Amino acid sequence: MKYFDMALFDVDESLQKRLGYSRIYCSGKDFVIQETPKHSSSRIIIRTQDQNNLIRFMKDGAVYGIIFENFDLSKKTIEQAAMSRKTIFIPVSSLLWHSVWDRQRELQKIRKIVIAAHKLKAKVAIATFAENKESLLSREQLFEISKMIIQTKNSKFSIFGGDIYDN
Amino acid sequence: MIFTITKHKNRYILIESSAPFNTRESSLSSGLISSMHKQIGEMGHAELNPKIVYQYNDSAFVMRINRGFERKAILALSFLKEVNGRRLGFYTIKTSGTIRSLTSYCKKFY
């Protein structure tokens, strides 16, 4: 199975291999993060706090997925993501810099979203979206964090996998 | 009461830091262990019993922990972002039962 990650800076190839990924996609080169979808040759990922805008932009064919800010996502948005087959990305790097209590609160929010997305059959993917080298994580670490989000023993969720870029 | 003595088994984790980190300096290695202690608490520390046993190069080193608690160690290292006031990131590259297999892995990838 191949594993991928997404970062906001270019990670050298030897480090990508050591971290256990087939490839770490770079923002600006392989994908772009925008608030409103503008014309771009690479895949567009929408990052906005406005839920109405998220729902509106998901109808755009050029949009590949959405990143939810502040870990808040309404059921309506998840439904729209499932209908339009857009991926919901969970940015992990922001979690790493929180205090313990804040982190637990954010994890609870993520858990609720992932469970709702699973029920509605929406695609969910976990990625670091690291801004710097300190925020990067290896495959093992990302795998353990995804396990921490879904703590159930007989979980059928697979939010971590190689299907992030499969069409 | 009869005590049965079982062989104590360890696991070794190959860790890479985002910046040069020489664990031969005692202040850095103890700083890392105490930062981990803050993350996992007293109980977790007793379970893991982490110790830095081998430095491969400027940034890669090997940590020894008790077998069965690898998951806890990996998570603690993921959330550990500061040692002695220095901003650092730690990546767990590989987990193994022997140091020898980790050094052969290092020779391949470093």
Residue A138's nearest CA partner among A13, A6, A2, A16 is A16
Residue B34: count of CB within 10 angstroms of its CB? 12
Chain B interface test: which of A138, A145, A146 (most B C-beta within 10 Å) = A138
Longest dimension (CA), chain B: 51
The token pair that represents A79 in the structure block: 């439904």
Chain A positions in Cβ-Cβ contact with residue B73 (cut-off 8 Å): none
Residue A40 above 70 pLDDT?
yes
User: Three-state SS for A45?
Assistant: strand
Q: Which of B19, B77, B91 is opposite residue A136, by nearest beta carbon?
A: B91
Instruction: Give the number of beta-carbon pairs within 8 Å between A and B.
Output: 49
Higher per-residue pLDDT: A151 or A9: A9
Q: Which residues contact B52 (CB under 8 A, 6 or more apart)?
A: B23, B29, B32, B33, B61, B62, B63, B64
Cα angle A31-A35-A37, degrees, rounded to a multiple of 5: 65
Residue B14's nearest CA partner among B69, B72, B59, B71 is B59
Whether the Cβ atoms of residue B76 and residue A144 lie closer than 8 Å to each other:
no
Longest dimension (CA), chain A: 44
Residue B55 above 90 pLDDT?
yes
Residue B47 above 50 pLDDT?
yes
Q: Which of A18, A133, A137 is opposite residue B78, by nearest beta carbon?
A: A137
What's A62's DSSP letter?
T
Chain A interface test: which of B14, B16, B21, B78 (most A C-beta within 10 Å) = B78
User: Three-state SS for A15?
Assistant: helix
Q: Can you state the percent helix, strand and coil of chain A, rounding each to 5?
A: 40, 20, 40
Residue A161 above 50 pLDDT?
no
- Distance, in Å, from the CA atom of A167 to the CA atom of B15, rounded to the nearest integer, reads 34
Among A75-79, B26-30, B63-67, top mean pLDDT goes to B63-67
CA A18 to chain centre: 22
Q: Which of A17, A141, A148 is opposite residue B91, by nearest beta carbon?
A: A141
Whether the Cβ atoms of residue A20 and residue A138 lie closer than 8 Å to each other:
yes
- Distance, in Å, from the CA atom of B93 to the CA atom of B87, rounded to the nearest integer, reads 19
Do B93 and A103 make contact, defined as CB atoms within 8 angstroms? no
CB contact A70 to B (< 8 Å): no
Chain B positions in Cβ-Cβ contact with residue A148 (cut-off 8 Å): 75
Task: Place A150 in a pLDDT band, splitting at 50, 70 and 90.
Answer: confident
Q: What is the reported pLDDT for B5?
A: 77
Residue A141 above 60 pLDDT?
yes
Q: What is the reported pLDDT for A16?
A: 94
Higher per-residue pLDDT: A143 or A153: A143
The token pair that represents B85 in the structure block: 């006031």
Whether the Cβ atoms of residue A152 and residue A31 lie closer than 8 Å to each other:
no
Residue A82: count of CB within 10 angstroms of its CB? 17
Q: What is the reported pLDDT for B16?
A: 96
Span B64-71, average pLDDT: 94
Q: Tell me the shortest Cα–Cα distance from B70 to chain A, in angstroms.
A: 10
Span A119-134, average pLDDT: 91
Do B87 and A134 make contact, defined as CB atoms within 8 angstroms? yes
Q: Which of B19, B74, B87 is opposite residue A144, by nearest beta carbon?
A: B74
Residue A10 above 90 pLDDT?
yes
Whether the Cβ atoms of residue A144 and residue B78 lie closer than 8 Å to each other:
yes
Task: State pLDDT tens for residues B86-106.
Answer: 999 999 999 999 999 999 999
Do A140 and B18 make contact, defined as CB atoms within 8 angstroms? no
